[in-house]
Amino acid sequence: MSAAVVKRVSRKGRGRRRNAPMAEINVTPFVDVMLVLLVIFMVAAPLMTAGVPLNLPQTAATAVPAEQEEPLVISIPVSGEVIVMDEPVAPDRIVTHLRTILAGRQSERVFLRADGQIPYARVVEVMGALNAAGLTDIVLVTDTGGPRMDG
């Protein structure tokens, strides 16, 4: 009789070992998902950078975060001249002047201010000069309170 009791106890012990929860983590599905996401982002990232990258603030948008150094501001008044940081610059010297300023700066962000009466072609010419000088982070500055386009 004691032999039968011993067998039952030993069977219970073996049964618990088989049904015990596994304490190991299977990382294979996690790695598979990460690789799929990596491929998706590698394919999608070049598609998101089409055209000239511009930060165009909307009339209802919040302000652009302030930078540590003084912002580079380019203004185009009604007369059509280009003013870089309160200094008028000749049209044939814009690119070289901007490259000189850019050499001593950490940030490549430029704030472009243009009067509402300026032809669009003039604003695009100045943006082309900014791009030729190596500036691609261009913020068009507007006043708040303009018309909303959401109906």
pLDDT score for 64: 57
What is the mean pLDDT for each group of 10 consecutive residues in the chain (151 residues)?
Answer: 49 58 82 93 71 40 61 83 85 87 82 83 89 84 71 62
pLDDT score for 55: 36
Alpha-carbon separation of residue 92 from 45, 47, 78, 97, 123 (angstroms): 36, 35, 19, 10, 16
Helix (H) or strand (E) holding 149: none
Q: Do 80 and 123 contact (CB within 8 A), yes or no?
A: no
* Residue ranges of domains in the chain, CATH in brackets: 54-140 (3.30.420.270)
Q: With H, G, I as helix, E, B as strand and everything else as coil, classify residue 45.
A: coil
Q: With H, G, I as helix, E, B as strand and everything else as coil, classify residue 116.
A: coil
pLDDT score for 37: 94
| Interatomic CA distance for residues 143 and 151, integer angstroms | 19
**Residues with Cβ < 8 Å from 140, sequence gap 6 or more?**
54, 55, 56, 57, 112, 114
